[in-house]
Each structure stands twice: as C-alpha cells, then as structure tokens.
Amino acid sequence: MDAIYGAGKSHAAESKLNVDHQSWRGASIATFWQVATIGSLPERAKFEKELEDDVTKKYNAYLETNRERNPWKNIEPFLLPVAIGVCAWYVYVREDSMLICMSCASVSVSYPVA
C-alpha cells in the first residue's frame, strides 16, 4: 500500500482504498497460509489473527492519513458565507445596473428645433 497510498502520494477515494485493502488483505492471508507450514494449527491461527490485526491497524493508519490529505476537508465553514457573499454581490450588481438603465430611460433629451 505504500507504493500507492504512502508518503508523498495524493488523496484517493476511500472506496478505492477499501477495495485495495480487501484484495491485499486476502492476498496476504493466502500467502501466510502457503508459507505457514510449521507448527500446530491453533498456533498458526494465532499468528494469522496477529497478521489480520496488523493489517487492520495499517489500513486504519492509511485511512486516517488519506482523510488528512483531502483537499476539501474543512471547506464547509467557508462555503456558506462565500455563497451568501457571491449571491449578495450578484444581486447588488444586477439591481444597480437596472437602476442605471431606468434612470437613463427616464431622462429625455430634447433638442431645439431650428
């Protein structure tokens, strides 16, 4: 996971991270059972449980690091005030331009007839 989600990598979707975790978790368990041929079955199951715990801890660490890399992480407190400001500016410009147009239309210029 370090090669894709490790240090210096950008934010990734949590769904992609979860799918990759599940596939790599399955592959690591399968590799463990191919290699673990010595010892009793309960002892190997104990080490499999330790492996699963380590993989889960590592996944949680990657998940937290990935959440910290999210560029949109703390945008919510700023989004509403900016949206209100943009709407207010738009209404101001629109109403101001309409007032200018109405004041120009109400002024009539009369030229003396010679």
Return the pLDDT at 84.
94
Cα–Cα–Cα angle for 81, 87, 90, rounded to 5 degrees: 140
**Coil, strand, or helix at residue 33?**
helix
Return the pLDDT at 45.
93
Q: Which of 101, 98, 9 is nearest to 62 (CA)?
A: 9
Give the model confidence (pLDDT) of 53-111 as tens digits.
999 999 999 898 888 888 878 888 888 899 999 999 998 888 877 666 666 555 555 55
- How far is the C-alpha of 4 from the C-alpha of 20, rounded, in Å? 10
User: Whole-model pTM above 0.75?
Assistant: no
Return the pLDDT at 94.
84
Q: What residue spans define the domains of the chain? A: 1-73, 75-104
Question: What's the length of the chain?
Answer: 114
Pick the more confident residue, 9 or 102: 9
